[in-house]
C-alpha cells in the first residue's frame, strides 16, 4: 500500500497595506483611512514620522512622537506601528 506524500501547507499570501505619515493631532479622518486600508488588505502597517524626520522635512508636530505612536497603535485597524525615519520608507 502506497503512503500519500505529506503536503506542506501553502505559504500564507498576505496582502500588506502600508500607511506612512505624521499623524499629528490624530482625528476621525485617520481612523477612516485606516479602516479603508484594512478592508482591502490583510495587515496594516503604519509608519509614524519621528520628530527627527519631521525636522528634516521642515515640519514640527504638536504631539510628541511617543504619543502619536500610542494613539495610532490604539486604533483597532492597525496591526503594527513602526517609526518612519527617512524618505526611502515612502516608496
Q: Give catalytic residue positions.
A: 57, 59
Cβ burial, residue 68 (10 Å; 0-12/13-18/19+): buried
Contact indicator for 58, 86 with CB cutoff of 8 Å: no
The three grid cell numbers given for residue 62, joined into one nine-digit string: 504638536
Element spanning 62, H or E: none
Amino acid at each position: 500500500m502506497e503512503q500519500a506524500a505529506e503536503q506542506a501547507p501553502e505559504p500564507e499570501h498576505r496582502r500588506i497595506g502600508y500607511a506612512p505619515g505624521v499623524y499629528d493631532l490624530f482625528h476621525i479622518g485617520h481612523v477612516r483611512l485606516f479602516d479603508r486600508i484594512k478592508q482591502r488588505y490583510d495587515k496594516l502597517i503604519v509608519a509614524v514620522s519621528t520628530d527627527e524626520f519631521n525636522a528634516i522635512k521642515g515640519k514640527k508636530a504638536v504631539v510628541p512622537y511617543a504619543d502619536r505612536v500610542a494613539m495610532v497603535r490604539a486604533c483597532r485597524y492597525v496591526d503594527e506601528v513602526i517609526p518612519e525615519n527617512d524618505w526611502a520608507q515612502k516608496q
